[in-house]
A = this chain, B = another copy of it.
Amino acid sequence: MKVVINISLKEGVLDPEGQAIKTSLSNLGFKNFSDVRTGKQIILNFKKIDENEAILATKKMCEDLLVNTVIETYKINVLKD
């Protein structure tokens, strides 16, 4: 079972990478947007496991290691095989 974690900066937290991308795109002529934000994606390939168990384990991993909850938020999506 695949679990996808999308980690992004909280609203209001400065995103320098997004700013840099916006500037570069604007230099290439793409100027039609107000904002660019970036995030990380982590895909876990679980061995045989119950869906609820997988979500619980993933939440714990996020809180313990993967996400800096002071400035980042995360969303967990389960992709069924």
Contacts and interface: CB of A to CB of B under 8 A. Distances in A.
Interface string A32-57: 11111111111111110100000001
A8 to B, nearest CB: 7
Measured as residues with beta carbon below 8 angstroms from the partner, the interface class of chain A is 20 to 34
A27 to B, nearest CB: 9
Contact of A57 (B30, B60, B61): B30
B25 A65 contact: yes
Given A65-B24, A65-B25, A39 B43 contact: yes
A57 to B, nearest CB: 6
Contact of A38 (B36, B38, B42): B42
Given A24-B65, A28-B65, A66-B21, A38 B35 contact: no
